[in-house]
Each structure stands twice: as C-alpha cells, then as structure tokens.
Amino acid sequence: MKLKDIEHLFHKELDNIYGKDEVFQFFYMCIESFYNLSRLDLALDTNLSITTEEQLKIMDALNHLKAEKPIQYLLGETDFYGLTFKVAEDTLIPRPETEELVEFIINTTKTEFQNTEDLNILDIGTGTGCIAISLAKNIIKAKVNAIDVSEEALKIAKSNAIMNEVEVNFIKQNILDNVEAINTINKLGKLDVIVSNPPYVRELEKQEIKPNVLENEPHLALFVSDENPLIFYKTITEIAEKQLKPHGFLFFEINQYLGKEMKNLVENYAFKNVEIIKDGFGNDRMLKAQLM
C-alpha cells in the first residue's frame, strides 16, 4: 500500500477529531518512527509503499489515535528541550510550558551563579526526568538529584538519563511523608536550586482537560483536591526553606488560576523576590523565589 494512500486515510479518519494540521504531524511522526522515513523522502518519491505486514504498526496507531490515545504513548517517546525522552502510561507527557520553565532556570543559573563552581539541584516529582535531565545536560557544573513517588516513573527516568548521557541521582520518595522526605533530602546537603512541577489540576478543572489526557495520563501526577490544591507546594516550600542555601532559588510550575494564591503562599516563608511568570500563552505558569 502506498504511504500517500495511508496519509489520505489518516486525514479521512482523524481530521474531525484533531484538525488537519495535527493529523499531518501525526502521520509523519509515525512513518519516521516506524519506517525511518521523513517528509522529504515521501516528497521525493510519492509512490513509496510498505508491505501488508509493515502496515500493521501504522494501522494500529491509527486505531489508537481514533480512540484519542496520545501519540507520544504510541511512539513511546517525545521531544523535550532538544532531547528525546521515553514516555509510558506511568508518566505524564512533558509539555511545552515545562520547557519554558527549564529555559528560565538555565538562564537564572547563568546570571546568579556565575562564580559558583558546583551547583546542587533537586527536582521534586521528576516523572520522565525531563526537567532534571535537561538541567544536567545544559548546566555542566550541576549535580542534579530527582525525586518521585512512582517506581515505574523512576525506571523510565533512569533510562532517559542513560539515553541522554547524563548523571542524575534518582530517589524514590513520597514528598508528602514530611519527616521521611526531609531526612532523605538532608542527605543531599544544602541545595542551590529546588524545582518542582507537582500535581496541580483541581478536580473542578477536569472538564477543561482534553479526553486524550484525561483518559490516558496518570491522574496521580495530574490532580489535587479542590479543598487543598496547594498541598504539594506548601510542603515543598517548607522543605526549601530548610534545605536551600542562603539566596538559593525555588522554582515551580503552577496552576494558571492560582498565581496570586501561590505568591501569597511562598511569601509567608523566608523568601524574597517572589515572581509569577507567564508562559508563551499568556497564562500564569511559573514561580521563582529566592531564599533570604
């Protein structure tokens, strides 16, 4: 069967769900992943065909996409901050907004730690390891540690670190087990940077989540209760107050609707210069604070 015919089938079956442009991207992501063929290859030879046996993978992907399963899970990987990361259903799929957070941290360390030989960084709730690994790859002088509660997520994160050729100290720990978590983090020594992208979507916001996310990505890493939506942020801020070096930095990815509440929360602790930063979509998305 010609790949061009399969491309037409993708549009016929999926355009009404995702839109033409996104389906176009899906098709080319699939042929690159499954057959090592690029958009250019197909443009140069529109008669490129695959065997009946080879069709099984892409037709299976088409059926899963019709059921709104994320393409990243189908391909088993995604791109983040110029790196490739394995993903599975035990981990959230890294988002572009989180790339902005990584960029912000890297730029801050360049200006604020120019004369520091070694940086000690902790990523709390690492998931795929996308934040920790990207920081380790781009801040050469950094020792990067990463915590997650999920054993399965940590397996994927460790694999991603190996694949991207960086060293990250991964630790299994529930950050909400306060005493045990503090004891664990104490062993890392004083920290220059703590960063976290914890669960922050309130149950009341579920209706805003796309079905492909809601039905496939791990709710443990997504949702918090309406009654206590800042539970992770409060715990992590308390830890940061104790574990950061003087003038060290705390970074969060946050719920766009709770920027004011987040700023008030962090300002109740020994932090100065608390800033809320908007993402590329104009939403309150990041928090930066410096320990006094």
Question: Which CATH number fits the domain that encloses residue 147?
Answer: 3.40.50.150
80 is a domain residue: no
Amino acid letter, 144:
V
Using a cut of 0.85, tell me whether the model's pTM lies above it.
yes
Give Cα 291 distance to the centre of its chain.
25
CA-closest candidate to residue 240, choices 108, 112, 122: 122
Give Cα 54 distance to the centre of its chain.
32
Residue 140, classed as helix, strand or coil, is coil
Cβ distance 177 to 141 under 8 Å?
A: no
Residue 195 has what DSSP assignment? E
- 48 shares its domain with 12: yes
- 19 shares its domain with 94: no
- Token representation of residue 281: 């979509």
Question: In the beta sheet, which residues pair with residue 142?
Answer: 119
82 is a domain residue: no
- Token representation of residue 138: 């781009």
Q: Containing domain of residue 150, as a range?
A: 88-291
Rounded CA separation 95/281 (Å):
13
What residues have CB less than 8 Å from 96, skipping those under 6 apart? 280
Amino acid letter, 118:
D
57 is a domain residue: yes
State which of 34, 67, 100 marks the end of a domain. Answer: 67
pLDDT of the chain, 292 residues: tens digit per residue: 999 999 999 999 999 999 999 999 999 999 999 999 999 999 999 999 999 999 999 999 999 999 999 999 999 999 999 999 999 998 999 999 999 999 999 999 999 998 888 999 999 999 999 999 999 999 999 999 999 999 999 999 999 999 999 999 999 999 999 899 999 999 999 999 999 999 999 999 998 998 888 888 898 889 999 999 999 999 999 999 999 999 999 999 999 999 999 999 999 999 999 999 999 999 999 999 999 9
- 118 shares its domain with 255: yes
Q: How many domains does the chain have?
A: 2
